[in-house]
Structure 1
């Protein structure tokens, strides 16, 4: 079989429509190349990438240090399964444990797999350490959460789009309001079988919802008080995205269980990890959990290289600095067009603006107009536009991108 090579984007769109499942609704842009903060479509048009594959490409597209590690290891050994030791897994486990200050790491592939791993770990801990009766452990989650799309995870989603038509749902979960410390305390008081609270330090898919200052610290204190594990889902907020290595660090919180993924491998491979100390992690024993590809030598080498880029290029600091520039410009734009932009939110380079719902255009239309002007972003929840460029973006590039957003909003306002 040969693949036709063409610069006609409609050819690729039509092929996907014919042979692929219709489980996404992409912008009609067909990308073929990326470098740093830029991507190019099949016609050669250059764009600023302000989605970063949902924060998986924090280090920029095709970073040479990461690609170099990938190609060198790919020619040597890619997969052994966990039936045998390999000479790379221990190195990446040590690297991330020292980086995030935990005793143990358990590597998986996708972010959803890591969340499922954390859930299993919390339940096992509940039965072995907390003394919860077998089958009774409960886990709290927050309203507006997004942790993945497996049947287990959607069981504690309150998004109709994620849930409807996929039941029956997995029991053992309760949803409490996000950013509500009192609601958490009431739930913990009422049910001694609660073993964990799974939460995003900033909710990404919900529209970049930033909780009150000190929220996570108060949550962590309550979890300690009631002997409940805090599971921090930093798959999207971690690895420098919000201006610190982890968003939890804004509240000086070290979660009991840390879940990371996406940028852990710089967008080169699907790699995720769950980190915890020995008293929690060692509740799982051989044969009780695993993954054929989890912890493979190729992923191990790529992950070390990806994290080295984060450290050596001081990307969290750059995310903090450029994020302040971005939000400053967006606040000015909101003042100019308050009837269009109803809110500006974010931290570091995880940001969003809300588009008024009574206009002749939508957030989707804003993203389409931005793409025509050379900037790619994606709407969420119908009225929110997320902006999350690679953390390697320079001050000059950020200024140019803010100009594009301003020009786009100005144009739409005049229509």
Structure 2
């Protein structure tokens, strides 16, 4: 049950070998003990995908309290793109912690916040003048993007899309499509949120059964917006360039550009939610770049700071500056330690060409998963870009979701030492988000485990 790869240094503890290693069942006895303590001390609403308790992580490996080492295809939900405890992140964080941990940027500011804003302004799409505000989480960034768009336009309505996920605050729950577990019982929700149909190539057919093009899917959405909302009432369109929790849905080519053009013509702020797709995850620094989309505002979080809480809204200077002084901020937004981590992340991405590495991971995974799709008819779709890849599980020969098989395959993979995540509106998508520093050997071994899991479940 052990396979050996080149070791990776992990600061602050014993060396973490880059090998899968199972010494107990998953979860092991010590993790079971900790889970019992968790059940007694932590609110039941805080659940876990795989209750193994981690003591070290780095490269493509997670080590638990029982000494098991699992292959990581989750990266903390696309957070540790540069790997856990990346040296450049660790050194900058340690230096900042030794100097000061907090003053509140709104009270007595510091240079790190400005450096992060300058870097994001430089890196995000478009050569127009940009400005940035820093926050704590993706949901907080999305909520502030809506505030900014409403203030700048003087309009109230916001359009989001089927299968969208934007967060767990009251406003972002209203913007999120999936009821369970995110919204059920938590209403009433914020108003003036409208939902339009998404481009979902696997499931998009017109009345004649022909697949909708991206442009036609956009026209369908625009028709709904014009009839049910009215362009003159609409402050913003908010959309994930590749939907995350909705199932890694990649809209058909032409969908996003058509929406952008319509928004521009009608004075509507186009907001790209790149919380999950950003910072090299898709084989580009930002997913918008695939079709040369230049959003008016962009929200980022997750991969921005290597695991420390940080988020940002970045956009056209005239829109960002529409808000009055004191209208944006928060006690912890742009914390100096998180800013130091973000600068370390950006330096690591550039130094180690993690954009190129994400593209390589995507090529390798797509080739292997295409072979699996040919072997296992339950794999109804394979999609994604870069190191953001998913397979949708359906009843063979149909597009009927098969959540039971999806859960069974994930459970088998977990037992064999591979962390995979289940997602999708219908609970029938396996999403793969390996750290961008994972080795090819570990990546291939993880895919071997997945292949074996499918064989055991569906044959």
- Report 1:38-77 matches (<5 A): 38-77=61-100
Which of 333, 344, 348 does residue 382 from structure 2 map onto?
A: 344
Distance 2:164 2:146 in 1: 15
Deviation for aligned residue 1:187:
4.2
Q: Which residue of 1 aligns with 2:301?
A: 261
Deviation string for 1:346-366 (max 9, x for gaps)?
Answer: 111111112335879532221
Q: Which residue of 2 aligns with 1:104?
A: 131
* Partner SS state of residue 274, structure 1: strand
Q: Which residue of 1 aligns with 2:15?
A: none
Distance 2:240 2:70 in 1: 30
Q: Which residue of 2 aligns with 1:242?
A: 282
Tell me, yes or no, if the aligned pair for 1:36 and 1:62 is still in contact at 8 Å: no
Distance 1:216 1:393 in 2: 31
Tell me, yes or no, if the aligned pair for 2:120 and 2:132 is still in contact at 8 Å: yes
Change (3 A) 1:115 1:32: same
Tell me, yes or no, if the aligned pair for 2:165 and 2:177 is still in contact at 8 Å: no
1:84 and 2:108 aligned: yes
Q: Which residue of 2 aligns with 1:3?
A: none
Q: Please report the TM-score for the alignment, with normalisation by the length of structure 1.
A: 0.92
Which of 210, 219, 238 does residue 182 from structure 1 map onto?
A: 219
Tell me, yes or no, if the aligned pair for 1:238 and 1:260 is still in contact at 8 Å: yes
Change (3 A) 1:266 1:25: closer
Deviation string for 1:180-201 (max 9, x for gaps)?
Answer: 3113322454411112100000
Tell me, yes or no, if the aligned pair for 1:357 and 1:383 is still in contact at 8 Å: no
Tell me, yes or no, if the aligned pair for 2:59 and 2:439 is still in contact at 8 Å: no
Distance 2:255 2:322 in 1: 29
* Partner SS state of residue 253, structure 1: coil
Distance 1:357 1:212 in 2: 23
Tell me, yes or no, if the aligned pair for 1:364 and 1:378 is still in contact at 8 Å: no
Distance 1:360 1:283 in 2: 46
Change (3 A) 1:22 1:360: closer
Deviation for aligned residue 1:315:
0.9
* Partner SS state of residue 290, structure 1: coil
> 5+ residue gaps in structure 2?
1-27, 200-216, 397-401
Deviation for aligned residue 1:118:
0.3
Q: Which residue of 2 aligns with 1:31?
A: 54
My pick for the range that moved more, 351-360 or 103-112, is 351-360
Where do 4+ consecutive residues of structure 1 move more than 6 Å? Answer: none
Distance 2:70 2:260 in 1: 41
- Report 1:3-402 matches (<5 A): 8-23=30-45, 24-81=47-104, 82-100=106-124, 101=126, 103-127=130-154, 132=155, 137-161=156-180, 162-179=182-199, 180-190=217-227, 191=230, 192-267=232-307, 269-338=308-377, 340-356=378-394, 362-380=405-423, 381-402=426-447
* Partner SS state of residue 8, structure 1: helix
Distance 1:248 1:188 in 2: 22
Deviation for aligned residue 1:7:
6.4
Q: Which residue of 1 aligns with 2:24?
A: none
> 5+ residue gaps in structure 1?
1-5
* Partner SS state of residue 140, structure 2: helix
* Partner SS state of residue 362, structure 1: helix
Deviation string for 1:268-304 (max 9, x for gaps)?
Answer: x110000012210001122212111111221211111
* Partner SS state of residue 175, structure 2: coil
Distance 1:221 1:113 in 2: 27
CA RMSD between the two structures: 1.8
Tell me, yes or no, if the aligned pair for 2:82 and 2:348 is still in contact at 8 Å: yes
Deviation for aligned residue 1:245:
0.5
Deviation for aligned residue 1:99:
1.7
